Amino acid sequence: MKRSKTQRTSGVLVHITSLPGPYGIGEIGDAAKKFVNDLAKMGQHYWQILPTNFPEKHNSPYDTNSAFAQNPFLISLDELIKDGLIMRSDLNPMPEFSERKVEFEKLKTWKYSILKKAVTNFLLGDEDNLIEYRKFCNEHDFWLNDYALFMVIKDIEDQIDWTYWESGYKNRKKETIEDLELRYNSEIEEIKTLQFLFDRQWRSLKAHACKKGIKLIGDIPIYISFNSSDVWMNQELFKLDEDCKMQFQSGVPPDYFMESGQLWGHPIYDWQKHQDSNFSWWIDRINHMMKYVDIIRIDHFNGLAKYWEIPIEDVDATQGQWVEAKGSELLENVFKNNGNVNLIAEDLGEAAADAAILRNKHDIPGMSILQFSFYEIENLRDMEENTVLYTGTHDNDTSIGWYESLNDKLSKNEIDTLKNVLKSDLKEVNWHMIEYSLQSRAMTVIVPIQDILGLGSDARMNTPGTINDKNWSWRMNGSELKNSMMEKMKNITEKANRA
């Protein structure tokens, strides 16, 4: 994460889907640009988001059908209207959407038909736009056409995993794929056009952020979903058996939070094969992401040092084993290929010491979470400067929700120590935690929007290890971020010499 060694900075974490708006989900149009303006009013430097790739299962942005394709449901309908690709009447009848959560299934049913209409009008429209579209397709040919084929075949095969597809599709037989491209040309073009429309709107958002002095922090999961175009097209880069089934799966070992560990279920990389290819897939992935954001946070960065490999037949993570990865070789190739790559390492967990060797070698900041630090007060006193400090993340409770649960976790003496550290009676624990973080030694601080809004556990974004309709669905109300809150955030940011 390139910065001046003396520059103290801060930013806000909120995912695109959580932005307010009338269409059931946050979008990358006017609401996103307004939020950029709000960040500038708060004296912030960064907007951190979660992955914007197309979710595969459970609407999780960390489980996607491509490392490259973006989520078309984030496309702004108002921008499509401005571009003349749909009319406002095309939105009718519009369902009544919740202001507080994304109702994913209702949204998809309604919005996809509108996006299809926009694609049809685009492909029949202005020639200059079509020239720009064809240029986009050429520049993204290393993933785009294969992704479109993958999505079309998924529809043909009733959404089953690709290992169960008809042999010609599963094994990408040349004559089968050529026939598919002829028979399903319009469906393939539709998928590619939606990616182009997302790209065009995103470039407009990024330009607006740049104008306002706001940098975007994106997020990539270290692992890829098995049922993705990436695994289908690059089977040799993963530990699969001769029938294309996973031999091992991802996860983390038992710890303080989960006694049976976590079973994530992603395919495991064959790191030697990646090294043999000079890490070309990884380099493409990171270079592609750097076109969309200014900084990349690598989720579970520890897995680049060593990872927990679990037999595919296991039902929990207890019998896994540590295996060394090739993170050092990967990062050397990444930075050699592109000197503008800018990273944050999510290095929480048991392999943090191993990850620190990689971080220090490449001057990559790690992460600290204030909520966790209170369980070991010494962590607060010894906090590194080269870290990105969060009051909490998308995987944690909000600061208020966390504090309200402390009676079950800490003794009275520990809670008294917490009050003493924060110099507070904790009536506004969210603001005291924000101010403590901003005043800390950490060179960069990121605050989830829920903590600025003063929200409780109902506003939590995700609870790891659970699958339910609350995860990933939280949204902020359009009138919730008040001028008084923005002014307060600006004042304590300036007081901490971060504005």
Active-site amino acid positions: 299, 346, 395
DSSP letter at 92 equals P
* Of the candidates 209, 145, 301, the residue with the CA atom closest to the CA atom of residue 16: 209
Count, in order, helices (H) and strands (E) of the chain: 20, 12
Beta-carbon contacts of 469 under 8 Å, excluding residues fewer than 6 positions away, are 101, 104
Beta-carbon contacts of 217 under 8 Å, excluding residues fewer than 6 positions away, are 11, 46, 47, 48, 49, 293, 294, 295, 296, 297, 344, 446
CA 207 to chain centre: 20
On whether the CB atoms of residues 10 and 391 are closer than 8 A, the answer is no
Q: Give the C-alpha distances (Å, rounded to integers) separating 211 from 34, 47, 68, 321.
A: 13, 14, 26, 48
Helix (H, G, I), strand (E, B) or coil at 140: coil
**C-alpha triplet 101, 103, 107: angle, nearest 5°:** 130
Parallel/antiparallel/unpaired status of strands 262-267 and 248-252: antiparallel
**C-alpha triplet 242, 248, 253: angle, nearest 5°:** 175
* Alpha-carbon dihedral angle through residues 66, 70, 72, 78, given to the nearest 10 degrees: 180
On whether the CB atoms of residues 300 and 222 are closer than 8 A, the answer is yes
Rounded-to-integer distance, Cα 21 and Cα 107, Å:
13
Rounded-to-integer distance, Cα 366 and Cα 48, Å:
15
